[in-house]
């Protein structure tokens, strides 16, 4: 009898509180959400004796606790993965910066200074060559008065343009890709230092 009295009392108190809250909200846009939540709670209060009778309350508590733990575990795992990715990204960026500093030091020994560099590394963590250098794109300039023209002390000889036949676009592109002796020297230097294929190194020295 006390159980029934307590059950009815809980329902009545809940309905009174719900009525007060609903009146306070007035025409607020949140009123429909409050009504939805209070309706669900009211249903649970009404059927609570049945839940206890068939011990369904324990089953509901079990599933609720299990789902809560799973949600927390997934959230923690997601945060951990994101943190690891951010940490790995920061490490790779620091690694690339260190390579840029190394290249700058190597260029200084050749009377050059680093203008720009693009470092590409293998960022696949599942790869056996993870972290290895894939390519280098380096733009450098001569320091001080040292230019590629002053590397060889010879008199300049002006030769008039000699045109034989028509020069196609492919020949023009090949001419623009021809490296100077200084660029070849730096390319070989970087290739030996990083044990890379020279074809993966692009070097441009500006006058």
pLDDT at residue 73, rounded to an integer: 65
CA dist 198 and 188 (Å) reads: 7
Compare 120 and 12 and report the one with higher pLDDT.
120
**Per-residue pLDDT tens digits for 90-101:** 888 888 899 889
**Per-residue pLDDT tens digits for 94-124:** 888 998 898 999 899 889 999 999 999 888 8
The single-letter DSSP state of residue 179 is P
Sheet holding 201-206, edge to edge: 112-121, 133-142, 201-206
CA dist 154 and 111 (Å) reads: 20
Compare 174 and 42 and report the one with higher pLDDT.
42
Residue 189 clears pLDDT 50, i.e. is over it: yes
C-alpha dihedral sign at 79, 81, 84, 88: negative
pTM of the entire predicted model:
0.50
Instruction: Give the count of alpha carbons within 13 A of 185, CB side only.
Output: 13
């Amino acid at each position: 009898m006390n159980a029934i009295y307590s059950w009815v009392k809980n329902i009545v108190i809940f309905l009174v509180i719900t009525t007060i809250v609903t009146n306070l909200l007035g025409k607020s846009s949140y009123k429909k959400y409050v009504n939805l939540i209070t309706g669900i709670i009211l249903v649970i209060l009404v059927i609570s004796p049945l839940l206890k009778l068939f011990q369904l309350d324990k089953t509901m508590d079990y599933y609720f606790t299990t789902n809560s733990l799973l949600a927390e575990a997934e959230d923690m795992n997601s945060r951990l993965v994101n943190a690891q990715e951010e940490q790995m990204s920061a490490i790779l960026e620091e690694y690339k910066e260190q390579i840029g500093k190394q290249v700058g030091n190597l260029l200084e020994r050749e009377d050059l200074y680093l203008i720009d560099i693009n470092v590409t590394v293998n960022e696949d963590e599942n790869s056996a060559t993870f972290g290895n250098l894939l390519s280098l794109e380096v733009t450098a300039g001569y320091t001080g008065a040292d230019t590629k023209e002053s590397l060889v002390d010879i008199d300049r000889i002006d030769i008039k343009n000699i045109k034989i036949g028509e020069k196609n676009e492919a020949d023009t592109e090949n001419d623009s890709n021809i490296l100077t002796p200084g660029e070849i020297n730096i390319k070989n230097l970087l290739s030996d230092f990083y044990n890379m294929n020279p074809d993966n190194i692009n070097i441009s020295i500006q006058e």
